[in-house]
Amino acid sequence: MFKRLPVLLAAVALAACSSHQGDSSDTSAPATPATTTQQAAATPAPASSAAKAPASASTASTNSAPATDSSSASAAQNDAQASTSPAPKKPAQPFHDNGKWVEGTNYYLIQPQQPVIEQGKINVTEVFSYGCPACYHAHSTVDQMAKSLPDGAVMTYLPAAFRPDENWPVYQRAYYAAKALGVADKTYDAMFDAIWKDGSVGSYNLATGTLKPKSEWPDINKIATFYTKYGIKKSDFVGVANSFSVNLKMKRADELVKAYGVQGTPSFIVDGKYRFDIQSAGGYAQAVELAQYLVRKEAAGQ
């Protein structure tokens, strides 16, 4: 029935979902290049959907997050809590730089270092959107990355909204409502499936691989129906989603995405200091390995 969906996912697997293509204003944290000098993994990295936003949405796409000042960025530290994993954490390995990973090629230094979501631990943060097909393609790798982190490190999630032309702000709002209601972690994978497998709360027509008309895009009321399967009343979900607290978290998330210098999704931020993506790492397995390397590097103070 959904014969064209694999074509869509294969196409977006060539480049990450883009926020500000061609925007060279971010000098503190350069955009990840399309290719790396390191050999790619046997399984190719996903190409994020690099479809450019229409002219009417270009301003929101490139400037959706205002410049972050130190006070608002610091407040963002407590906007979300880390996902917990039932799998036991592996002990941290001693840091040894064998020269495999190259700054400026495989990962990028964020200057100055930015706030993290959960204090007291080394954060590995996925910048993502449920509406991003490349994020859907990579989310099993993200699950693996979370389970592979050593003690002292934690996986956190930062939803982006820089593609209003693909309905991302409503998915950002839904994530923070689910987080406030305590169901974001256990519904992370299921929400991707509801968008990209059965299409029940998706903005894409899975049969054609194209965006639905805006009149058919899911709103927060429709998305709330999905969360009723997890014991949340629809009215409660909608109320929390439209609250001042969630509005504030969305604003701070936009600021933090910009402060991290994120150019596309999925992107990964290690302790507010390093940024990489699956392409720059060289593939899915390499992204997991690079996250572990950067955690050890940060833990060693190097």
Query: Which domains, from first to last, does the chain contain?
Result: 1-10+110-302 (3.40.30.10)
Q: Using a cut of 0.85, tell me whether the model's pTM lies above it.
A: no
Range 42-45, long-range pairs (CB < 8 A, 24+ positions): 42/283, 43/283, 43/284, 43/285, 44/13, 44/283, 45/13, 45/277, 45/278, 45/279, 45/281, 45/282, 45/283, 45/284, 45/287
Predicted confidence band at 94 (pLDDT cuts at 50, 70, 90)? low
- pLDDT at position 46 over 60: no
Query: What pLDDT was estimated at residue 58?
Result: 32
Please state whether beta strands 153-159 and 122-128 pair in parallel, antiparallel, or not at all (unpaired): parallel
Eight-state DSSP code of residue 204: E
- pLDDT at position 79 over 60: no
Predicted confidence band at 95 (pLDDT cuts at 50, 70, 90)? low
Closest alpha carbon to 30 in 263, 198, 247: 263
Query: What pLDDT was estimated at residue 265?
Result: 97
pLDDT digits (tens, 9 = 90+) for 144-203: 999 999 989 999 999 999 999 999 999 999 999 999 999 999 999 999 999 999 999 999
**Mean pLDDT value of segment 56-82:** 38
Closest alpha carbon to 128 in 108, 143, 113: 143
Element at 191 (helix H, strand E): helix 188-196
